[in-house]
Homo-oligomer: A and B are copies of this chain.
Amino acid sequence: MARSCNFDRQEKLILAMELFWQQGFAETSISDLVGHLGINRFSLYNSFGDKQNLYRECLSFYLDNYSFGALDTLLHEKAGLAEIEAYLARFIALQREQKYGCFMQNAVLEKSLDDEGVLQECQRLFCRLQTSFTQVLQDCQARGELLIHVQPHQVAAFLVLQLQGIRVLGKAGEYELLDNGFAVLQGYLHTLSAKAF
């Protein structure tokens, strides 16, 4: 019926996400986006609405595709405390490379106060994270690998807390603190175990 769009929307969304991820909302101008995405100003507005809307869509995309992705693999295999430990170790290692930190964490600290939608989106992910960890730990406990007095949902909350702390220290370049903190975390996980791992 009419002319079709000559760029891939999702490809451009990813580019926009990268830029917001690196620079934050306020520090990223529409002109920056136009340059980085390689599409015209008007096409950008036409495809994604205004800046706020684009940002939210980027955040959603990030939450669904980038953040904590490895957690899913943790869920599918019959994982235990050893796998949780390995996940945390990988997570910390990742922070050394991810110099831009975490898009979601940036979003929480920069935008949650003036954009209710951003806050809710992030809370949704926190919930998902806790649920996932709780599931793993419950399975663990059912198999007799976790001490019975341990409360899975509490330990799960504790782990979410760790992830957030790790990302802040990672962005701050505090790798030694991270390693030392992880050593303690590791020790703690071992105290939860009903059998050595």
A→B interface (CB under 8 Å): 22, 24, 26-27, 99-101, 105-106, 108-110, 112-113, 119, 122-123, 126, 130, 151, 153-158, 160-169, 171-174, 176-181, 183-185, 188, 191
Q: State in angstroms the CA–CA spacing of A108 and B108 once bound together.
A: 13
Give 17 pairs: A residue, B residue, CB < 8 Å, sorted on A: A24-B109, A99-B113, A101-B109, A106-B109, A106-B110, A109-B171, A126-B177, A130-B177, A156-B180, A157-B178, A160-B181, A161-B162, A161-B165, A164-B164, A167-B168, A188-B191, A191-B191
- Which one of B123, B155, B172 contacts A108 once the chains associate, using CB atoms below 8 Å? B172
How far is A164 from B155 in the complex, measured between Cα atoms in Å? Answer: 18
Copies of this chain in the oligomer:
2
Q: Is the CB of A183 within 8 A of B154?
A: yes
A154 and B181 contacting across the interface, CB-CB below 8 Å? yes
| Residues of chain B within 8 A of A165, CB atoms compared | 161-166, 168
Q: Which residue of B lies closest to A183 (CB)?
A: B154
| A168 with B27: CB separation less than 8 A | no
Set B113, B162, B168, B177: member contacting A157, Cβ < 8 A: B177
Provide the residues of chain B in CB contact with A109, threshold 8 Å. 24, 101, 105-106, 109-110, 168, 171
A112 to B164, CA, bound (A): 17
In the assembled complex, the Cα of A173 lies from the Cα of B166 at a distance in Å of 19
In the complex the two chains form, is B154's CB within 8 Å of A108's CB? Answer: no
